[in-house]
Amino acid sequence: MPVRAVDRALAIMEALKEDVQGLSELSRRTNLSKATLLRMLSTLIKYGFVSYNQETRKYDLGIKLLKLGMTVSERLDIRQVAYPYLTHIWNISEETVYLNIRNGNERLCVDCLNGKKSVRVVAYAGHSSPLHVAASGKAILAFLDQNEIEDYLKNVRFQKIAPGTITDVDTLRDNLAKVLEQGYATSFEERMPDAKGASAPIRDISGQVMASISITVPNSRTDGEFALYIRLVTEAAKDISRKLGYSRQ
């Protein structure tokens, strides 16, 4: 197929990404004649990249694109995607950064880089903790479906493992609401003494939160430093989500 035809086909699909459209509107948005559009659309419909509703006489993206997107998503290893961002944060902050996934009612660390500074917090891959304990788990828990959150709250067993561990449902509800509102989680001595952390949610192609990227530092770090760390993890989480196919940001 000539390159020009490929450009036109991509322009059509980009236009349909916004909403379903009739032939006239699609012609206006792509700056293609109706005759050219009909030829292109016929081929795209044939291969499933575009669909046509005869009742509304409007065109939409086809199911083939969803299948291709899911294939790409399945082939992506989140650790491979996230590692450059972990390294970026680590090089700027010189603090401990790590990647977490949900494992039932726990968050599981699947990759980490320990801080370069002499006074640091140490993490390691394979460590797990309840979702409500510390920023790394709350950044996943707060963005689950409300029914899943309620089910978690009904079955959670609160245990104080550090000075700041949340140990009652009402406090946890308030904390999760704050996380949801601001788009990231923080914690202060919730999992270990003399440590504070920040974490942001990572979404897959469907928009579901599947992981979190976190940074944990000693309490002695200044408010200014901690604000920078929050920005670094939130920006990284958004970029990783985009790499995994999530686009509604």
SS (H, E, C) 125-193: CCCEEECCCHHHHHHHHCCCCHHHHHHHHHHCCCCCCCCCCCCCHHHHHHHHHHHHHHCCEEEECCCCC
Tell me the whole-structure pTM to 2 decimals. Answer: 0.72
Question: Distance between CA atoms of 159 and 168, rounded to whole angstroms?
Answer: 9
133-183 pLDDT, tens digit each: 999 999 999 999 999 999 999 988 899 989 999 999 999 999 999 999 999
Residue where the block lists tokens 């990759």:
111
Topology of the domain comprising 76-243: Beta-Lactamase (3.30.450)
Topology of the domain comprising 3-71: Arc Repressor Mutant, subunit A (1.10.10)
Tokens standing for residue 26: 């699609």
Residues of the chain with CATH 1.10.10.10: 3-71
Residues of the chain with CATH 3.30.450.40: 76-243
Examine the pLDDT at 123 and tell me if it is beyond 60. yes
